[in-house]
Amino acid sequence: MSESEEKLDRFYTNEVDPVYEGPHNDEIRRIQSHPDPLHPDVNEKDPWKYKLDTVSGYRIVEFLPNDKGDPRQWTKLRKWVITMFLGLLCFSIAFASGIVTGNINEVAEYFNVSIEVVILTVTLFVIGFGVGPLVFAPLSETVGRRPVYVITLFFGVVFIIPCAVAKNIGTLLVCRLIDGIFFSAPMTIIGGSLADMWINEERGVAMAVFSAAPFLGPGKTIKFIPIEEIIIHD
């Protein structure tokens, strides 16, 4: 048999080979290569036709090239202003966590409690740091950063007021815990905000500003001096 006849014989043999009908045929799945017109994977009201996540039902949004809505397309000046503001915010919250220790003896005397009880104001604040991120971190990925910033900072500032005018140690302890929970949100999502703005190659310095703030804040707690001790008498 010549070589050409051998190739032709092999070709016809392959053509007439029966399809395997073994038990494994049941495991073969049909893979959809085109969208199902009856069950589309996009929101019909969305002009951009972003795909819907099959698990959560939310739209998977991707920025278009040179999209002005993309934070990474912002100017360097705008990104640095926001970065410094976020670093200052982180510093302020870290400062607030230990601010009571700046005059701890007089706080203990005012409320007529021990030093250990006054230290609880710091402990409960830090416990709030551990509780809040369990809710606020994933929430910021779902509803966005801005609503979480605005709502948590609003309530955090509101609960500073009862801390300032507290007439008993119980009020101070409870409000410090609540403040710790709400103020944990910025501490948690600032890193995500920076990652939203800066590309990997430019993110190092911005993250350094954010990372240094929590360490500098508590270290800058100062001792407050009553105003009457500052006034110079004739």
Question: Which CATH number do you get for residue 159?
Answer: 1.20.1250.20
Radius of gyration of the chain, Cα coordinates, nearest whole angstrom: 31
The answer to the question of residue 39 being in a domain is yes
| Buried/exposed 147-181: b ≥16 CB within 10 Å, e otherwise | ebbeebbebbeebbebbeebeebeebbebbbbbbb
The answer to the question of residue 22 being in a domain is no
Whether residues 41 and 143 share a domain: the answer is no
What token pair was written down for 103? 């005059």
Number of domains the chain is built from: 2
The answer to the question of residue 168 being in a domain is yes
Whether residues 56 and 92 share a domain: the answer is no
Q: What is the pLDDT of residues 163-197, one digit of tens each?
A: 989 999 999 999 999 999 999 998 889 988 998 89
Whether residues 57 and 137 share a domain: the answer is no
Q: What is the pLDDT of residues 39-97, one digit of tens each?
A: 455 555 655 566 666 676 666 666 777 777 788 888 899 999 999 999 889 888 888 88
Strand partners for 59: 52
SS (H, E, C) 106-138: HHHHHHCCCHHHHHHHHHHHHHHHHHCHHHHHH
What token pair was written down for 186? 């910025």
Whether residues 49 and 164 share a domain: the answer is no
The answer to the question of residue 4 being in a domain is no
In this prediction the pTM is 0.65
Distance separating alpha carbons of residues 233 and 224, to the nearest angstrom? 20
Whether residues 42 and 135 share a domain: the answer is no
Whether residues 46 and 135 share a domain: the answer is no
Expressed as residue numbers, the domain containing 167 is 71-222
The answer to the question of residue 208 being in a domain is yes
Distance separating alpha carbons of residues 65 and 73, to the nearest angstrom? 9
